[in-house]
């Protein structure tokens, strides 16, 4: 095993994680609209590169991690009910639908109005339970394994039962690139 591979195999997650205080979070009682605002305002600066987060951590009772909310969860929550129950093809392209003339008029205003109502839903209604996490002393290979097996873009980093940060797949990828010629 070369030196780079040894480094990756033995690199503790805490050396790659973004500390919790630097990563955006929402509370279970925050609204979907507040989650959107936090996501949009949270430009992360990691290793000199800026990016918007794809996932927010959802906390309850201060610092107790209860789940995650992804951008696509938020987008799904904003789709009006009548489109959510529609066939999947409508979800992929919600504004190019054919209207059944037996239905009441479908207007862009009614869709936007529904989106505004849904932005008031609490984050707890759209969040996902925590699928996996790693301990801050776990090696990076364990984080990679969890990300791949659970299909995750971020992984919460724990110290005991307390969340202390996150590891993002994009940062793991950058680290792995250093191994390749």
DSSP per-residue codes, 47-112: TTEEE--SEEEEEETTTEEEEEEEHHHHHHHHS-HHHHTS-HHHHHSTTS-PPPTTSPPP-HHHHH
Note the pLDDT tens digit of each residue in 54-73: 899 999 987 789 999 999 89
Note the pLDDT tens digit of each residue in 81-110: 766 665 545 445 555 555 554 445 467 787
Cα 57 to Cα 46: distance, rounded to the nearest angstrom? 17
Cα 108 to Cα 174: distance, rounded to the nearest angstrom? 42
Tell me how far CA of residue 98 lies from CA of 86, 102, 107, in angstroms: 12, 12, 12
Q: Domains in the chain, start-ordered, CATH in brackets? A: 3-177 (3.10.580.10)
């Amino acid at each position: 095993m070369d030196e780079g591979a040894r480094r990756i195999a033995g690199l503790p997650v805490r050396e790659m994680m973004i500390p919790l205080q630097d990563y955006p979070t929402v509370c279970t009682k925050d609204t979907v609209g507040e989650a959107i605002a936090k996501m949009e305002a949270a430009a992360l600066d990691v290793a000199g590169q800026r990016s918007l987060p794809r996932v927010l951590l959802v906390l309850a009772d201060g610092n107790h991690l209860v789940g995650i909310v992804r951008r696509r969860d938020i987008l799904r929550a904003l789709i009006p009910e009548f489109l959510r129950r529609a066939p999947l093809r409508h979800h992929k392209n919600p504004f190019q639908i054919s209207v059944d003339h037996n239905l009441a008029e479908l207007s862009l205003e009614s869709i936007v109005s529904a989106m505004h109502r849904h932005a008031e839903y609490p984050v707890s209604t759209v969040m996902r339970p925590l699928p996996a996490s790693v301990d801050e002393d776990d090696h990076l290979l364990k984080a990679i394994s969890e990300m791949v097996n659970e299909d995750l873009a971020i992984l919460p980093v724990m110290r005991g039962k307390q969340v202390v940060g996150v590891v993002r797949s994009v940062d793991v990828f950058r680290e792995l690139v250093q191994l390749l010629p």
